[in-house]
Chains A and B, each alone.
Chain A
């Protein structure tokens, strides 16, 4: 029962905090900061399903977020759909695309797969830049009327914020549910030894395709919501390669394979990044610091922060998943 697991309640507590903090003073600046953190948690939690659970590195995870944003924006602007249906449809469309890509590139193993995911990012980026319906390299803009169905721009932004927090909670709960399920055990088996998993009767091809497609769904929904909130999208923002890569740093920092680790790494790194980017002296060096951090984690503490905690307080494994 998921209700008996402490992580479930920790997740809900986190969500309550995310809702309470900006609402207390109707603080829009804090809301924008928290959106960045929430998006990082969404992306990293879903990336964790691939890297932490299945052992397949996805360098182009951001592609789901960007493509979701594009599909969502297209449905809202060109087709006049409402935001929730557009976001949901974006999630479904992108998941189906991922399933299609996955059936192709998941035949590759290990490093070859990792390289192919860089290719997916580059290829989708090139595709979007050449399609008229997506506005080519200038992107798409939202007209002000699009906010009317949600009761004006001001209310629309708050509603979008709550929806994003909802997606964040779903991301963490999804990771939690998969972790102790039979499906999750199959994924862990693939991570440890794919050939042995096949021998044990796990249909690895199906498992990998499902998890790849599943890890695309919530980031795509989040992309549709965030780019609706921003009111514009273009290929450089949507498919920001660096953000995709920083997602890996966040995951390794927090602790791959753990639900709280993914969220913790995402939140800490995102705050650090915001601090560095706004500080006049260090803004140019945030990549250097991120790279150094990743190197230190990889070389000296491959379990990340949660890995450390497990090592020093073994009993914490019962509470923190």
Chain B
């Protein structure tokens, strides 16, 4: 029994990182109605970014998060200009395909540079032991970093002028333009933040598990599930749904093989989409 509890707590900690990844996806989806298919590739870039920075500097990886997020922001704005700016407002097929083409290029370059063999970030913090079970320090640190980043985003969106501008554009782009907000700048910044979150969550995952350049795809699927659970444009909802997904994974792993998990997640995804098209945590609107 306590084994299940321990596994669930582990799941909860990992779930916070899933939540962070999904926040990036949810923000972009909510603000510009673009489903960012570069998400998985960006998560993978975050993993390798952490690997490179850590092997160069040997600093504490959780400190290295800050430069990585800054790089992610710049990269995100570049990707926005490259592939999204021209297709915002056109049919969704076009933005799906254009972000997807960037995904292919990133994965292609990544495969050429690092092949598809596994890497890991060789760093571990001292864990906390309860009886027979030890929770590794990395899990705890990653979950706390994810929480801090999520709260920072929430404060940014609700307490600062640029954040309010992002929410205004998300609510009604034309009205926001009439109020003197330059929607192009706002969209670029929102996209940059979304990518920065993906990079940050990838960097956190790299301190927990080994990874390859293709690992991002699995987390991308999880992010979709979480985003759909939470409903669009609700960053804190995404964090909550991420934790819920992590808990679920933790609760089922003692009983079934890990390879079944994608099937369960996908089942959940479809059932939720059909039963709650607006997301479980979405408030009923009239």
Contacts and interface: CB of A to CB of B under 8 A. Distances in A.
B266 A122 contact: yes
B63 interface: no
Interface in A124-141: 125-127, 129-130
A294 B274 contact: no
Interface string B247-286: 0000000000101111101110110011000000000000
A284 B266 contact: no
Contact of B87 (A55, A110, A114, A298): A298
Nearest to A116: B270
Interface in A213-231: none
Most chain B CB neighbours (cut-off 10 Å) among A287, A290, A302: A287
B183 interface: no
A174 interface: no
Given A116-B273, A119-B221, A285-B112, A299 B266 contact: no
Interface string B229-257: 00000000000000000000000000001
Contacts of A114: 35, 96
Contacts of B107: 287
Contacts of B53: none
Contacts of B144: none
A116 B86 contact: no
A154 B164 CA distance: 70
Contacts of B111: 284, 287
A271 interface: no
Most chain B CB neighbours (cut-off 10 Å) among A122, A130, A298: A298
Given A241-B217, A295-B83, A298-B94, A105 B260 contact: no
Contacts of A5: none
Contacts of B62: none
Contact of A299 (B86, B109, B228, B262): B86
Contacts of B224: 115, 118-119
B230 to A, nearest CB: 14
Contacts of A299: 83, 86-87, 98
A126 B258 CA distance: 10
Given A57-B96, A122-B266, A285 B108 contact: yes
Nearest to B221: A122
B105 A126 contact: no
A311 interface: no
Interface string B68-91: 000000000000001100110000
Contacts of B109: 285, 288
Contacts of B101: 249, 291-295, 298
Interface in B91-125: 92-94, 96-98, 100-105, 107-109, 111-112
A125 B262 contact: yes
Most chain A CB neighbours (cut-off 10 Å) among B82, B108, B221, B267: B108
Given A114-B35, A299-B87, A292 B105 contact: yes
Interface residues of B, number: 39
A248 interface: yes
A288 B104 contact: yes
A294 B112 contact: no
Given A292-B101, A298-B87, A119 B269 contact: yes
Contacts of A107: 274
Nearest to B35: A111
Contacts of B98: 294-295, 298-299
B279 to A, nearest CB: 12
A127 B270 CA distance: 16
Contacts of B261: 126
Nearest to B108: A287
Contact of B105 (A115, A125, A287): A287
A212 B170 CA distance: 34
A249 B97 CA distance: 9
B117 to A, nearest CB: 14
Interface string A270-307: 00000000000000111111111111001100100000
A289 B221 CA distance: 25
A245 B270 contact: no
B118 to A, nearest CB: 16
Nearest to A55: B93
A129 B108 contact: no
25 contacts: A104-B270, A108-B270, A111-B35, A115-B35, A116-B273, A118-B224, A119-B269, A122-B221, A122-B266, A123-B262, A130-B260, A284-B108, A286-B108, A287-B107, A288-B104, A288-B108, A292-B105, A294-B100, A295-B82, A295-B101, A298-B87, A298-B94, A298-B97, A298-B101, A302-B94
Given A248-B97, A291-B102, 16 more contacts: A57-B97, A111-B92, A112-B273, A118-B224, A119-B266, A122-B221, A123-B266, A241-B217, A249-B101, A249-B104, A284-B112, A287-B105, A295-B82, A295-B102, A298-B98, A299-B83
| 3 tightest A-B CB contacts, nearest first | A287-B108, A291-B104, A284-B112
